[in-house]
Structure 1
Amino acid sequence: MTSIALTDPSRTDPLAGGARQWRVDLYYPAVAGTGQARPYADDPILLARMTESGYYDIPAEDIRAWAARPAPARRDARAVEAALPLVTLSPGSGVAAFHYAELASAIARRGYAVAVVDAPYLGLSRLADSRIVSGTDDPVQQADDPHAWQPRVIAWAQDIGKTLDALPASRGVRATGLTLDMARILAVGHSLGGTVAVEVCSHEPRVSACADFEGVVDGTTAYAEGPVRPTLLALSRSAKPERPVTVPDLGRPPFDFLSRGQQDTHWGVSISGGSHMSFSDAPQVMPSTLTRFGGTLMDAGRSQQVYVGIVDALGRAFFPGGGGNAVLAAYFESVPEARATHAAPTSLKP
């Protein structure tokens, strides 16, 4: 992996003023033995803030232990010689970007570059000027109505576009030999970051498809107008014998927006044995944040396999020349924990 500090002087920080800034952690397949080993959490200032603020009610000693845990990716390693498809990954509300390192590395092992876009006031971020910012600082995000958040969601979606501008296909970015295939891009996100991913698909023509894991879609452009690019919404719950996994109902919220599109490439997915925090490193490093509601969860290894598989199948389906719906259908057929369906275009419905 490598980290990149980005600034957009054409837009301002919504609270502090000045140029808008954010960080990107870029993960990619690398040549074995190159780069530098590093700890899972290598920012002591950010860790101190987490400890002070009671980050997700995790004990202080567990937070400090992340500084001793080995990271799954080496810093500034030599990239493999290939033009890599790109996945942008938007964090959940208040979640630190490094809590997607295990997930992003697992996606990278499938042959992707993964840009964890640590947008300001979305996760928990330390900016290049050393300020620590999170959604709790933002009065707009304290509103209960998701429509009130739309200006922030649009701004975070614009951060994805600006990140794509900074990652050209023709040269490496602070990592020897790294080449990105900018014709093959997915936007994915967790929780509020999933909301951002759906918004990206409404505005960013460079993105082939998007996936929202656990994010509210009400208030997005796609929810109001229907998705215009292949879109997947996945919701997860713990498994209980009396709560069998069922196919999503595309006639009811929140999946109903998928049927407003003019294509049959929009997918609703229900996952049994997952949690709101499963599309992150929570199963590996902070299992106390996983919600069970009296049920059981997949083990950490299986959870990662299922969620990474969804991202990979989405790319293989909808990148240029991909296999389309048949790829996703075959993948979900092989995953007993998941039930999925895709929307028929509105124009084809009686």
Structure 2
Amino acid sequence: MHMKGTKPNAGKISKNRRKKLIYCYIFILPQLALFLAFTIYPIIMSYVYSFFNWSGYGSLSNFAGLENYAETISDPFFWNAFKNSFIFMFFVVLIQVPLALVIAILLNSSWLKGATVYRTIYFLPVVTTTAVIGIVMRFIFGAYKGLINEILIAVGILDKPIDWLGSMDTAMMIIILVGIWKTFGMKMVYWLAALQSLPKELFEAAKVDGANWLQTFRYVMFPLLLPVGSVILLLSSVNALHVFDLVKSMTNGGPAFHTDMVDLYIYRYAFEGGGMPRAGFASAAGVVYGFAILFVSLILGIVVKKTGGKQSSH
């Protein structure tokens, strides 16, 4: 007989649990090693490099203190790239997130035929290499023999070709539009996942009560989507603040630094520099920009938390 209060095979269960945990740690170890080597270590070393006048070659011997930070903060080109990065983020998120919701609602509708095909078409740009897209778009929006100019001239909208990527009035607009199109499919998938997780019983109850589509969206769908939408807003904003390969392949920051972004600014000093690279200065610029993104993320994180809290209270 077993004594009262004891569980049979408790030792065996505990042993099996430990065995499973060991296997879990073994399988996660390669990912953890890669994360430490290619994420944590570079972050830590970027802080170290930022205090040195270091070219990226040789030992760290020329200590600069806060000179790199002072130069970064006083550099108008940095603030120009900083402004452009946030302009890009603002318009991409402002247009992309709600538009992706509209398309996701349409693709989630039961009456739509071939929804899978449309989802694939929208998602294709996401899995296409950004640099390749940038090169193709450079030809499409080219000043001469570009596809867009050829079409607009053929239909009589333009009399002469426009240098879309070489004009200060249009270059940023084109970068933003291409950026929206490139990552649109991912936001659509986020919204689709959120829509498919909503309980259908609530929509059926709203229909029985005589609510039309707009009323159902406003009083049922939108409140339920709000917490997920806040997370999508946070992810979209942070991702849009890191744009490099698209701008590098389309305009390289031109014309006259009008589409320059902080990631491109850092790359220019870290790997080009017009001579000897300045990896220490580039690291300082990256740290400053990193804190700016952290500040934005904290604000949006508070919004996400409050939105989720309000939703859960209801």
TM range (shorter): under 0.3
**How high is the TM-score relative to the length of structure 2?**
0.24
**How high is the TM-score relative to the length of structure 1?**
0.22
Q: Please identify which structure carries the higher strand content.
A: 1
- Bigger-Rg structure (1/2): 2
Identify which of structures 1 and 2 has the higher relative contact order when contacts are C-alpha pairs closer than 8 Å and 6+ apart: 2
Q: Please identify which structure carries the higher helix content.
A: 2
